[in-house]
Amino acid sequence: MLHFYEPTEYQPKCNALYETYHRQLFLLIPHAKIEHIGSSVNPKSFSKGDLDIDVAVSQSEFEHSISQIKRLGFQEKLNTFRTPHLCMLESQNNDDVAIQWVVAGSEFESFILFRDRLRASVDLVEQYNLLKLNSVFLSMNQYREKKSQFIRYVLSL
Protein backbone atom coordinates (compact mmCIF):
# COMPACT_ATOMS: atom_id res chain seq x y z
CA MET A 1 0.00 0.00 0.00
CA LEU A 2 1.29 3.44 -0.92
CA HIS A 3 1.57 6.08 1.77
CA PHE A 4 1.50 9.82 1.18
CA TYR A 5 2.58 12.40 3.73
CA GLU A 6 1.21 15.85 4.34
CA PRO A 7 3.65 18.68 3.59
CA THR A 8 4.53 19.41 7.22
CA GLU A 9 5.49 15.76 7.72
CA TYR A 10 8.17 15.55 5.03
CA GLN A 11 9.10 18.96 3.62
CA PRO A 12 11.50 20.16 6.35
CA LYS A 13 13.65 17.04 5.83
CA CYS A 14 13.49 17.35 2.03
CA ASN A 15 14.39 21.04 2.11
CA ALA A 16 17.42 20.37 4.31
CA LEU A 17 18.52 17.50 2.05
CA TYR A 18 18.11 19.70 -1.02
CA GLU A 19 20.35 22.40 0.47
CA THR A 20 23.03 19.81 1.30
CA TYR A 21 22.96 18.21 -2.15
CA HIS A 22 22.80 21.57 -3.90
CA ARG A 23 26.09 22.60 -2.25
CA GLN A 24 27.75 19.28 -3.09
CA LEU A 25 26.53 19.30 -6.69
CA PHE A 26 27.63 22.90 -7.21
CA LEU A 27 31.13 22.06 -6.00
CA LEU A 28 31.36 19.09 -8.38
CA ILE A 29 29.74 20.71 -11.42
CA PRO A 30 29.73 24.51 -11.00
CA HIS A 31 28.19 25.18 -14.44
CA ALA A 32 25.14 23.01 -13.76
CA LYS A 33 21.68 24.47 -13.26
CA ILE A 34 20.41 22.76 -10.08
CA GLU A 35 16.74 23.01 -9.12
CA HIS A 36 14.44 21.54 -6.50
CA ILE A 37 11.54 19.83 -8.26
CA GLY A 38 8.81 17.37 -7.32
CA SER A 39 6.15 17.59 -4.68
CA SER A 40 8.54 18.56 -1.91
CA VAL A 41 9.03 22.00 -3.45
CA ASN A 42 5.30 22.85 -3.36
CA PRO A 43 4.09 23.81 0.13
CA LYS A 44 0.67 22.18 -0.34
CA SER A 45 1.62 18.90 -2.03
CA PHE A 46 1.24 15.46 -0.53
CA SER A 47 4.18 13.17 -1.23
CA LYS A 48 5.73 9.78 -0.65
CA GLY A 49 8.36 11.80 1.23
CA ASP A 50 11.10 11.68 -1.38
CA LEU A 51 13.23 14.48 -2.80
CA ASP A 52 13.64 15.15 -6.53
CA ILE A 53 16.39 17.34 -7.93
CA ASP A 54 16.77 18.48 -11.52
CA VAL A 55 20.31 19.05 -12.81
CA ALA A 56 20.78 20.52 -16.28
CA VAL A 57 24.17 20.56 -17.98
CA SER A 58 25.41 21.13 -21.50
CA GLN A 59 25.41 18.24 -23.96
CA SER A 60 29.22 18.20 -23.90
CA GLU A 61 29.24 17.82 -20.09
CA PHE A 62 26.39 15.32 -19.85
CA GLU A 63 28.09 11.90 -19.73
CA HIS A 64 31.19 13.05 -17.85
CA SER A 65 29.13 14.85 -15.19
CA ILE A 66 27.10 11.68 -14.58
CA SER A 67 30.30 9.90 -13.60
CA GLN A 68 31.07 12.80 -11.23
CA ILE A 69 27.74 12.51 -9.41
CA LYS A 70 28.40 8.88 -8.66
CA ARG A 71 31.07 10.12 -6.22
CA LEU A 72 28.20 11.46 -4.08
CA GLY A 73 26.67 8.01 -3.75
CA PHE A 74 24.28 8.05 -6.71
CA GLN A 75 23.81 5.39 -9.34
CA GLU A 76 21.79 5.20 -12.51
CA LYS A 77 18.27 4.03 -11.86
CA LEU A 78 17.76 0.63 -13.45
CA ASN A 79 14.82 -0.24 -15.69
CA THR A 80 13.91 3.36 -16.37
CA PHE A 81 13.84 5.62 -19.39
CA ARG A 82 17.36 6.71 -20.47
CA THR A 83 18.39 8.80 -23.47
CA PRO A 84 21.45 10.83 -24.50
CA HIS A 85 19.62 13.79 -22.89
CA LEU A 86 18.17 12.21 -19.72
CA CYS A 87 19.56 10.01 -16.99
CA MET A 88 17.66 9.17 -13.82
CA LEU A 89 19.88 8.67 -10.79
CA GLU A 90 19.03 7.50 -7.30
CA SER A 91 20.84 7.95 -4.05
CA GLN A 92 22.43 4.95 -2.38
CA ASN A 93 22.67 6.93 0.88
CA ASN A 94 19.33 5.72 2.34
CA ASP A 95 17.81 9.19 2.01
CA ASP A 96 15.24 8.66 -0.80
CA VAL A 97 16.69 11.23 -3.21
CA ALA A 98 16.46 11.08 -7.00
CA ILE A 99 18.16 13.27 -9.57
CA GLN A 100 16.87 13.87 -13.07
CA TRP A 101 20.09 14.61 -15.01
CA VAL A 102 19.17 16.43 -18.22
CA VAL A 103 20.77 18.25 -21.10
CA ALA A 104 19.99 21.96 -20.84
CA GLY A 105 17.51 23.05 -23.50
CA SER A 106 16.26 19.52 -24.13
CA GLU A 107 12.65 18.37 -23.95
CA PHE A 108 13.41 16.97 -20.51
CA GLU A 109 13.36 20.38 -18.95
CA SER A 110 9.66 19.56 -18.70
CA PHE A 111 10.29 18.66 -15.05
CA ILE A 112 10.73 22.39 -14.41
CA LEU A 113 7.66 23.30 -16.45
CA PHE A 114 5.54 20.79 -14.50
CA ARG A 115 6.81 22.19 -11.20
CA ASP A 116 6.10 25.77 -12.25
CA ARG A 117 2.60 24.99 -13.47
CA LEU A 118 1.72 23.35 -10.16
CA ARG A 119 3.20 26.27 -8.22
CA ALA A 120 0.98 28.64 -10.21
CA SER A 121 -2.28 26.71 -9.70
CA VAL A 122 -3.86 25.70 -6.41
CA ASP A 123 -6.45 23.79 -8.44
CA LEU A 124 -3.80 21.62 -10.12
CA VAL A 125 -2.16 20.89 -6.76
CA GLU A 126 -5.53 19.85 -5.34
CA GLN A 127 -6.12 17.57 -8.34
CA TYR A 128 -2.66 16.05 -7.92
CA ASN A 129 -3.21 15.50 -4.20
CA LEU A 130 -6.55 13.83 -4.89
CA LEU A 131 -4.92 11.56 -7.48
CA LYS A 132 -2.37 10.52 -4.86
CA LEU A 133 -4.92 9.92 -2.11
CA ASN A 134 -7.03 7.85 -4.51
CA SER A 135 -3.98 5.75 -5.39
CA VAL A 136 -3.07 4.35 -1.98
CA PHE A 137 -4.37 0.88 -2.84
CA LEU A 138 -2.81 0.75 -6.30
CA SER A 139 0.42 -0.96 -7.19
CA MET A 140 3.43 1.29 -7.79
CA ASN A 141 3.13 0.67 -11.54
CA GLN A 142 -0.55 1.60 -11.55
CA TYR A 143 0.18 4.75 -9.55
CA ARG A 144 3.02 5.72 -11.90
CA GLU A 145 0.70 5.34 -14.89
CA LYS A 146 -1.96 7.58 -13.31
CA LYS A 147 0.74 10.08 -12.36
CA SER A 148 2.17 10.04 -15.91
CA GLN A 149 -1.27 10.76 -17.35
CA PHE A 150 -1.67 13.70 -15.00
CA ILE A 151 1.78 15.06 -15.85
CA ARG A 152 1.00 14.84 -19.58
CA TYR A 153 -2.27 16.69 -18.94
CA VAL A 154 -0.53 19.49 -17.00
CA LEU A 155 2.19 19.85 -19.63
CA SER A 156 -0.44 20.10 -22.37
CA LEU A 157 -2.08 23.13 -20.74
Domains of the chain: 7-156 (3.30.460.10)
What pLDDT does residue 60 have? Answer: 96
Mean local confidence (pLDDT), 21-50? 96
Indicate if the pLDDT at residue 1 is higher than 90: no
Q: pLDDT digit string (tens) for 92-139?
A: 999 999 999 999 999 999 999 999 999 999 999 999 999 999 999 999
What pLDDT does residue 124 have? Answer: 97
Indicate if the pLDDT at residue 31 is higher than 90: yes
Size of the chain in residues: 157
| pLDDT over 70 percentage in the chain | 100
| pLDDT over 90 percentage in the chain | 94
In what helix (H) or strand (E) does residue 23 lie, and over which residues does it extend?
Answer: helix 7-28
Angle at alpha carbon of residue 73, lines to 145 and 42, rounded to 5°: 45
